[in-house]
Amino acid sequence: MSEELTQDDFLGGKIKIWQPRRGYRAGVDPVILAASVPAKPGQSVLELGCGVGVASLCLAARVPDLQITGVEVQADYAALARRNGAENAMPFTAVTADLRALPADLRQKRFDHVIMNPPYYDRAAGTVSDDAGKDIAFGGDTPLGDWIDTGAKRIGPRGYLTLIQRMERLPEVLDALVGRLGAIVVRPVAGRASRAPELFLLQARQEGRTPFRMAPALIMHEGDTHQCDQDSYTPLVSDALRSGAELPILP
């Protein structure tokens, strides 16, 4: 194993992921995102900002026969995504590109699903990290509206956009969706039942007509406080993280 990389198990060892030892490292958020995508066998998926491919490969492990394409601006992360797809024998293509300047072939395609885990922090309101990979993953220089705009353009008829983001940025996301996608469902994500949600999952649909809906919060951990060194994930979350089970945004 390279001293600069680690190979980590996801979904209870169903997939193994190479990622940088230092810098941005994927955690549970891309796994939760993948579990929330309502994909069916034979459909096409585009992930914007795929990193090393965790969300796409978790989705591929749950739903067979998907055609998945990832876009990643950092060439070293995109290379790891391609390696991870190949070593896990998953149908996954990773393209090195800025999502604001997609290759011509991607601009001509529409997908059944577009998924994304955009940087959580507004670059204008934060400081630059010393690690380039971590800086782009957590802040980046691409406005959140550009992520939504690019994603909406690539969704085919009745297709879905699914994303995860920090709660304070929900107004930005909803504003960017106006006039583009409908049938919006938001599911807050809280660490514990006693805490305010810090994240949210959102799903919207091309040509969607149903009214906006707020789903019950997804609670990540049992109990009001951390009691021991073992994880305390709720059964729904544990099934998604350990077994790759589906975790619908609207239960």
pLDDT digits over 59-96, tens only? 999 999 999 999 999 999 999 999 999 999 998 999 99
Q: Does pTM surpass 0.85? A: yes
Q: Does pLDDT of 124 surpass 60?
A: no
Q: What is the mean pLDDT of residues 220-229?
A: 75
Q: Does pLDDT of 13 surpass 60?
A: yes
User: Which of 35-49, 180-194, 216-230 has the lowest average pLDDT?
Assistant: 216-230
Measured CA to CA in angstroms, residue 84 lies from 5, 78, 79, 162 at distances of 12, 10, 9, 22
Q: Does pLDDT of 145 surpass 80?
A: yes
Q: How far apart are CA 135 and CA 121, in angstroms?
A: 10
Domains of the chain: 5-243 (3.40.50.150)
Q: Which of 64, 56, 52, 89 is nearest to 162 (CA)?
A: 56
Q: What is the mean pLDDT of residues 39-66?
A: 98
pLDDT score, position 231: 76
Q: How far apart are CA 212 and CA 120, in angstroms?
A: 23
